[in-house]
Structure 1
Amino acid sequence: MADFPSGSFTVRTMTADDLAKIVELEGRCHITPWSAQLFEEELSRAYSTIDILWQADRLVGYICFWQVCDELHILNVAVDRAFRRRGLGRVLVEHVLQHGRAGGCDRAFLEVRTGNRGAIALYDSLGFEVIGRRVKYYPDGEDALVMERKILHS
């Protein structure tokens, strides 16, 4: 498990009971938020995991990822605006990279909006490198950068 900043944060895997809170947070965090149906679909996939970050009884973030064979795919990351700039996004991504390492993954991939400079800087600082671009990837027409990081086995 990753080390969380002070403030008694905990992480656990999402269940269907968390859906309403996840959808609410998603709507506050993203330009084109995922629907409840998309989250339900992720919950039904054997290779998909959504880990959620709590402080006391407040949902403050989550990360959705797939482990497929020896690859890790990060699909969605969100941290409540009131809790940003505390390293929680970094902790969530590091948590998933540890999961991938333990699961025998060789590489991790993600897409990020070209205009999301904060996320790009975070992923860059975690060793991700841009390997491509998906033109008009997002519903609003914004491009995505495809980023990859090699995962060293422990």
Structure 2
Amino acid sequence: MIRIRPMAESDLDLVLRIEQTCFPRAWTRAHFHAEIGSERATPVVAELDGRVAGYLCLTVLLDEAEILDLAVDPACRRSGIGAALLVWACDEAVRQGATLLRLEVRATSAPAIALYERFGFVRNGVRKAYYEQGVDALLMDKNLVEEDVNAV
């Protein structure tokens, strides 16, 4: 059973372990602490069988939302956690009045790109050599409509 709940300070050790495992240039404790304390941010964790298995940081400003960070513990991948986090992000963005959800992803991350495309995100641009070792960032958007948010 996957449970999504607000990220708490007490989650940060586990969140940082996942972050450092998943990303060469990982966010720091200060980044996550700032997200937890921000009025515009909504950071959440996904628990699988009672343990933190993934997380997502969402920010909404007016009618636009952005997924700033999303990761799933490699040991828990392919168990629906990424999909559950994306459903939550779409629902929460709509709840907060957003009509567009944006994100960026490493152009080399085929599994993540496939997941985002399955959820209706479309590619709309590239940031050349944005990530370490010259890896491009693929920019993706999803138009949010209340009736189709849970349709995936």
Alignment TM-score, normalising by the size of structure 1: 0.89
SS across alignment from 2:65: strand
AA matched with 1:151: L
Task: Report which stretch shifted further, 58-67 or 8-17.
Answer: 8-17
User: 1:68 matched to which residue of 2?
Assistant: 61
Instruction: Report the CA distance between 1:132 and its aligned residue.
Output: 0.7
Q: Residue 136 of structure 1 aligns to which amino acid in structure 2?
A: A
Q: Which runs of 5+ in 2 are unaligned?
A: 148-152
1:20 pairs, out of 3, 13, 35, with 13
Higher normalized helix content (fraction of residues):
2
Paired with 1:139 and 1:41, the residues of 2 have a C-alpha distance of: 23
CA deviations over 1:21-69 (Å, ceiling 9, x no partner): 1111111222221111111121221101111011233110111110111
CA RMSD of aligned residues (A): 1.3
| Paired position in structure 1 for 2:82 | 89
SS of equivalent residue, structure 2 residue 18: helix
Aligned partner of 2:72: which letter? Answer: V
CA distance in 2, matches of 1:82, 1:140: 25
- Count of aligned pairs between the two proteins: 147
Aligned-partner Cα distance in 2 for 1:15–1:51: 8
DSSP-derived class of the 1:130 partner? strand
What secondary structure is seen at the aligned counterpart in 2 of 1:104? coil
Which one is further off, 64-73 or 81-90? 81-90
Question: Residue 66 of structure 1 aligns to which amino acid in structure 2?
Answer: T
Q: Answer with 25-34 or 120-129: which moved more.
A: 25-34
How far apart are residue 104 of structure 1 and its match?
A: 1.6
CA contact (8 A) 1:32 1:140 kept: no
Q: Tell me, which stretches of 5 or more residues in structure 1 are unaligned?
A: 1-7
The answer to whether the Cα contact below 8 Å between 2:2 and 2:81 also exists between their aligned partners in 1 is: no
In structure 2, how many angstroms separate the alpha carbons of the residues matched to 1:140 and 1:94? 31
Deviations, residues 85-130 of structure 1 (Å, cap 9, x unaligned): 1221011011110111122211000000000000011111110011
Q: Map of 1:38-57 to 2, 5 A cutoff?
A: 38-57=31-50
Describe the SS at the equivalent of 2:134.
coil
Which of 102, 106, 130 is equivalent to 2:123? 130
